[in-house]
Structure 1
Amino acid sequence: MSKLRLMMIFIPMVIFSPLAIDIFLPALPEMASNMSTSMISMQWTITCFILSLGIGQLIFGPLSDRFGRRPIALGGIIVYGISALLMSMIHQFEWHIALRFLQGIGACSIVVTAYSSVRDRLNTTESSAVYSYLNGAICCIPALAPVLGYHLSRDFGWESTFLFMAGFAVISGLLIYFTFDESRPATSTSNSQSISFANYRAVLAESKFTFHAILVMLAMSIILAYVSSAPALLMDKLGLSQEDFTFWFSVNAVVCIVASIIVPHIAKNLGVKRAIELGLVLLMGVGGLLIVQETITSAVNYMIPVIVSSIGFSLLMGVCTGQALSPFKHTAGTAAAVLGFIQMSGAALLVTFIQAMGFGASEQLILLSILVLCTYIYWKIPRFNRKILAHN
């Protein structure tokens, strides 16, 4: 199978998750009104999805090794599509949250099998190129999906965004059913021990992995706090229209795309350790910028620190992921599953806890920046630094 044909299959598979996060954001105020709940409560529809996305990492990676990539992917698409269809018809908040969790489980199984299949079919050099293209496709969704969601919700109501997800699942499901062949190697595990907590503990025992996984989680937490809190702050409190909100969200997404492209060059020129340090400084600077402003009176006041955090996020995600997985040459799949769980579920739980304490949008980012500062100080302790030293 040619790489072009593979890309046509894999790109729809990897954008299930960002599509489900970004397309309905402009419609959150309308959804909150229809479900008779607050914008603060509607934040759960994002954090719950991310939480299930992380939990699924520990499950579907090993299951795809045992049962194959194709059945896990197709099963996930069915779950994703049915969940989206039901959410377009059910207006009860509690049922919506339950279905969002289920939708996240479906999305996770699709993405995990896509990345596993790339590894199955291609060598290291070829797979690295494909991963780059797939990450580029993922980065484009936050810029495009809110624009589409704005027009859909404006013309047809918020339910149309979930109907679009269901339709996307049907079309992509048919494409994958007829073109996605099984790729699981014959040597993959097929016994009942494919999900092994002992293997997970071995990964967590590696200090280099744990430290860089925490950095990834904190970076993800800042982005999640922004994505889940921005609609309430910008549209509900500051009075931005859906169109203006979509504009600012897309601007930040474009910054993420550009930053993702230049990060490899920065890491190459600065070295891994200095690139990580730069990313941490940028994330810490977010808190400083917000503290100096004291109060948020316009979208610019809030979005400038957010854009700074997105650059720091892009720096840390790629570099820290590589560092975290570097000790696991022969167990990269298990290590990647644990890393994904910490990144997604850890960030979701941390942000949910902070939001439950009643902190506002800017206060959440300030608190998370303080946690980054604490991690940075700990990193500078010579005895600890030697254990997790990032080699160039």
Structure 2
Amino acid sequence: MDARAVPSQQDRTAPQKTPWGLLALLMAMTGIGPVSLNMLVPALPNLISELQTDIGTVQLTLSLFLLSLATAQLLLGPMSDRFGRRPVVLCGLSLSAIASLVATFAWSIELLIVARIVQAFGAATGVVVGRAVVRDLFERDRAAAMLGLVTTVMVVAPMFAPTIGGLLDVAFGWHSILLFTGIYSLLVVIWAALVLRETRPARIPGASFLRDARALFASATFYGYVLVVAFATAPFFTFIGGGPHVVVTMMGRSSAEYGVWFMTNSIGYMAGNFIASRQSQRFGVNAMIVIGLGVEFAGAAIAVLALAVGEHGGPAALFLPQVIVSVGNGMLLPNAIAGAVSVRPQAAGAASGITGCVQMAFGAAMAQAATVAIAGAMTAMPLILIILAEVVLAGLIYAVLVLPRRSA
């Protein structure tokens, strides 16, 4: 069932002016998860010595955080459909703030891990409910344009959070990092309490939460959009998994040089997000998905050709085509998300939660697969072929599950 067949009251009355204040709040909410995840990374060596543990155990503060961030969305999305966006946001982000402050005073690695799991559970609220709020307030194509701005924070945060975390760790110790994230979360909670109104659409007479959920889960179009999100954004995670080995081990470059080159991917993704924010309403969700897939395919194909022709291009031969892939990714992602949460607007929270969880879980799996594939390779070709295959499969999924039922 297409979202345009049952437009909500907000769809019909949504203002055309960009609500920058609301978007800033949604970006701040969305940023709590990636900031909390990445800011602690530089402090891991100090955690090992101060809490008298080992690297494998300390790594759980990251891996279990990410797992909790992904799985929590499956619960928080439907809860926001059932109880409303505002109460779920305020409760979830408050939980994240409290867990951050508890983690600040953790005296054992076990307590820190538990606190980080709870912190991630609450932080997931910002990601899943933020997307649902955008869909509540805007029709599908306009929502894609707004999501193009909101999702930018998912790339900006990993660029700068580790640097800030490293500075705090050096100056004040690892406790200060968790204190920082706790205060940040608390400020966002206060901001949301003052500004965020309830946006969940009013129920259509005769409708129910369970009925809306069943209609969502019975839609092949919904699964199509979700799988397009997963496969089309997987190249980013695949590159994270295999890129360092290619640049540092195969090419003999430093990790610092890798970090500088990796920023080009983030710039490409932000450029794609900017294009989506400007053009999604003009061309429509489905057209932007097709264009984004085409750009991603072009970048992956160029990378394959570059490696086939010669192996001496250095990091530029690897990263510059990947920038093109990232631009297509940035164009596609907000539109595919908007498509997923628009299949059944009354269940936008559940749709947002499922989409986010599948995206993160599949991305993590592809990052691990890339690490395995590139481990015994002599060139970066296995990594690039995986990326190309992911883009091709995303296109096939779109053609089979979404294209026959599309409305734009």
How far is the alpha carbon of 1:316 from its aligned partner?
3.1
Q: 1:240 corresponds to which residue?
A: 255
| 2:228 aligns with one of 200, 211, 215 | 215
| 1:77 aligns with one of 83, 88, 93 | 93
| 1:53 aligns with one of 28, 46, 69 | 69
Q: 1:358 to 1:106 in 2, by over 3 A?
A: farther
- The answer to whether the 8 A contact 2:93-2:126 is kept is yes
Q: 1:369 aligned to 2:387?
A: yes
Greater alpha carbon shift after TM alignment, 307-316 vs 129-138: 129-138
Q: What value does the CA root-mean-square deviation take over the aligned residues?
A: 4.8
Letter in 1 for 2:96: Y
Q: 1:260 aligned to 2:277?
A: no
- The answer to whether the 8 A contact 2:42-2:165 is kept is yes
Q: 1:219 to 1:290 in 2, by over 3 A?
A: farther
Greater alpha carbon shift after TM alignment, 170-179 vs 70-79: 170-179
Structure 2 distance, partners of 1:141, 1:74, is 22
How far is the alpha carbon of 1:344 from its aligned partner?
2.1
Structure 2 distance, partners of 1:227, 1:261, is 22
Q: TM-score, normalised by structure 1?
A: 0.72
Greater alpha carbon shift after TM alignment, 226-235 vs 2-11: 226-235
Structure 2 distance, partners of 1:391, 1:197, is 21
Greater alpha carbon shift after TM alignment, 103-112 vs 172-181: 172-181
Q: 2:297 corresponds to which residue?
A: 280
Letter in 1 for 2:296: G
Structure 2 distance, partners of 1:277, 1:28, is 40
How far is the alpha carbon of 1:63 from its aligned partner?
0.9
Structure 2 distance, partners of 1:27, 1:201, is 42
Which secondary structure state, in structure 2, belongs to the residue aligned with residue 15 of structure 1? helix
How far is the alpha carbon of 1:61 from its aligned partner?
2.0
Letter in 2 for 1:202: A
Superposition pairs of residues 158-197 of structure 1, within 5 angstroms: 158-187=174-203, 194=210
How far is the alpha carbon of 1:183 from its aligned partner?
4.2
How far is the alpha carbon of 1:198 from its aligned partner?
3.6
- The answer to whether the 8 A contact 2:29-2:126 is kept is yes
Q: 1:211 to 1:122 in 2, by over 3 A?
A: closer
Q: How many residues align?
A: 381
Structure 2 distance, partners of 1:358, 1:94, is 33
Which secondary structure state, in structure 1, belongs to the residue aligned with residue 93 of structure 2? helix
How far is the alpha carbon of 1:275 from its aligned partner?
3.9
How far is the alpha carbon of 1:367 from its aligned partner?
6.2
- The answer to whether the 8 A contact 1:143-1:251 is kept is no
**Structure 1: where are the runs of 5+ without partners?**
none
How far is the alpha carbon of 1:108 from its aligned partner?
1.5
- The answer to whether the 8 A contact 1:61-1:112 is kept is yes
Q: 1:318 to 1:67 in 2, by over 3 A?
A: closer
Q: 1:299 to 1:328 in 2, by over 3 A?
A: same
How far is the alpha carbon of 1:216 from its aligned partner?
1.8
Greater alpha carbon shift after TM alignment, 104-113 vs 366-375: 366-375
Structure 1 distance, partners of 2:311, 2:152, is 36
Q: 1:317 corresponds to which residue?
A: 333
Letter in 2 for 1:219: A
**Structure 2: where are the runs of 5+ without partners?**
1-14
Q: 1:351 to 1:163 in 2, by over 3 A?
A: same
Structure 2 distance, partners of 1:287, 1:114, is 37
- The answer to whether the 8 A contact 2:33-2:123 is kept is yes
Q: TM-score, normalised by structure 2?
A: 0.70
- The answer to whether the 8 A contact 1:215-1:316 is kept is no
How far is the alpha carbon of 1:158 from its aligned partner?
4.2
Which secondary structure state, in structure 1, belongs to the residue aligned with residue 255 of structure 2? coil
Q: 1:126 to 1:352 in 2, by over 3 A?
A: closer
Q: 1:289 to 1:101 in 2, by over 3 A?
A: farther
